Amino acid sequence: MGSVIMPTLLIFFLLFFAIALVLPTVRVWRQTGVNPVVLPQSDDVAGFVGKWFKLLILTLGLYLALGSLGLSVPFGTISLPSYASIIGMCLLIISICWVVIAQFQMGKSWRVGIDTYVKTDLVIHGLFRISRNPIFLGMIVQLLGLFLVQPDAITLAILLAAYILISVQIRGEEGHLRELHPDAYPDYCGKVRRWL
């Protein structure tokens, strides 16, 4: 592992966190007066996913920070061809652009979690014409890129755990959108796939 890989990944992680979570949260809050981060503390599925997703993000940040400081070494290194890291860096860059575009296209409807208090519009334009979940898709691509740049058991476990948690979250959101838009959402699902 090159000495600049972990610090570069940490900078990317912090940049992604700021651009993909903090900035849209502030934007939507200013536009609507509504906090778009609606992760429940409940003991149901949504609460479970929210709690474990926070833990996953914290684990990833801690892993990258410790690696950047030289306080940890890769665990369970996985051998990949040398060009995998180049593909991974490209995926990281593509993913951040993709997520930012999708969030911008969601406008005031962007949420982290399921907002059962404020009715949001169904977004079906832009990237949402090719994926019902472009932001989640971008997050998976980001974690795949991370794994290709830093292929080890930790980044692989984070990728797989995130995929499972996101898949559960998507199904919860689909149920919510079916209730919120009983005619438009099933029609939209018939035209656009869940991922791509």
Task: Report how far residue 194's alpha carbon sits from residue 135's, in angstroms, rounded to the nearest whole number.
Answer: 11
Average confidence (pLDDT) over 142-168: 97
pLDDT of residue 124: 97
DSSP 122: P
Q: What is the pLDDT of residues 104-119, one digit of tens each?
A: 999 999 999 999 999 9
Q: Mean pLDDT in the chain?
A: 94
Domains of the chain and any CATH numbers: 5-191 (1.20.120.1630)
pLDDT of residue 1: 44
Angle at 54 between CA 119 and CA 189, to 5 degrees: 40
DSSP SS3 for 191: helix
